[in-house]
Structure 1
């Protein structure tokens, strides 16, 4: 039993790992954002100067010359944004997500990026607001559904509020129903059920993930599941 509770702590770390780490405190971020609209989603909806509008037009022209269409250029910027997020350069990441939104305001993945920024700062409420805005554009975005579910599961791991757990599982399953081959979703569904000691489902989603390559599965989680949930 002592191993089981140790591995529950490990599972919390697995969910918390999506926060990537941060190179600036949230307090400093909010101070900087108060004078720099590039650090706010959709540039804070702040009216732009003529000089800023001209700079935007030049940027859009350059981006379209490189990538062809607004959506392709926007997707390119989203990928760059997450690259910077993984490197803990949150300011550049937010700037890239805003540029992605500028190129295509209907690209739900820009809001996926906005939400990830706030989740990194452990501001789950602001993150969820951004995810919800993205889901209004595309209710079937498995990227957003899975990350939104992760927010709720992370909250559950500290609050033990059953509503958070139920919402997490609902969203993970919704994402799974859209794309049953998303390894990130499968791995986290397994972890959800492991937390509840529902071994049958924990192994079910673990096995599905492993058959697809098992990319997100860590050695530590495999050991946790093996010792905490006998087949």
Structure 2
């Protein structure tokens, strides 16, 4: 496995495959903990759970930073969920994404969080379904478009050693979804970085550098040293 494969695959899956939880192990955990299911599995809430939910919502909404805006509070919880995901705590991340759902059940960013959890544990089919459900509700959600593009890029890596033609079709789809996301929000560094990688994989050096530079100009937060080296190696800068 090459250096760039490792660096990019870790990035695509959001985190270092935290705790090495497999889909099978996750399913065992879910059997006794529906807090690990998106939207709590849509199972009826018990009276104590409803009381606990209401207490949680009231406590959060008392915070001045949200000014009574439940969507803002929901997005805050999604941000906390990703913080836990980056630290390797997948379970707590899912708890936060579900709390975001409690605060605003219509916030399609929750599917971004759910999809990221499933990407992390490498249950790609369930990740795909979460992104697709969210995009059905809000087709122009840029986080979901980039997440869905990430799913397609990951499928490229999975299939590339075995079925080059099918793998390339996934890579083309990744570019399609990420380009749509970029057109809606040209300042998302995550989208810019992944677009650069996609074009690098396609051998399109001009676009690989174009999106790399756009990302770097905005701060270059997701850019890795490994990718920078491989981009320079494969795509020499034009003088």
Aligned-partner Cα distance in 2 for 1:71–1:33: 27
Aligned-partner Cα distance in 2 for 1:184–1:95: 24
Q: Secondary structure at the match of 1:214?
A: coil
Unpaired stretches in structure 2, ≥5 consecutive residues: 161-166
Q: What TM-score, normalized by structure 1, do the two folds share?
A: 0.90
RMSD between superposed Cα atoms in Å:
1.7
Conserved 8 A contact 1:74-1:104: yes
Q: Secondary structure at the match of 2:222?
A: coil
Aligned-partner Cα distance in 1 for 2:28–2:57: 28
Aligned partner (choices 180, 183, 187) of residue 174 of structure 1: 180
Unpaired stretches in structure 1, ≥5 consecutive residues: none
Q: Residue 39 of structure 1: CA displacement?
A: 0.5
Q: Residue 11 of structure 1: CA displacement?
A: 4.3
Aligned partner (choices 52, 57, 62) of residue 60 of structure 1: 57
Aligned-partner Cα distance in 2 for 1:173–1:12: 24
- 1:1-231 correspondence runs (5 A): 6=2, 10-11=4-5, 13-19=7-13, 20=15, 21-23=17-19, 24-66=21-63, 67=66, 68-160=68-160, 161-230=167-236, 231=238
Conserved 8 A contact 1:41-1:114: yes
Aligned-partner Cα distance in 1 for 2:60–2:226: 43
Match of 2:164 in 1: none
Aligned-partner Cα distance in 2 for 1:207–1:11: 21
Q: What TM-score, normalized by structure 2, do the two folds share?
A: 0.88
Conserved 8 A contact 2:18-2:120: yes
Q: Residue 69 of structure 1: CA displacement?
A: 2.3
Structure 1: 4+ residue segments shifted above 4 A: none
Length, aligned pairs only: 225
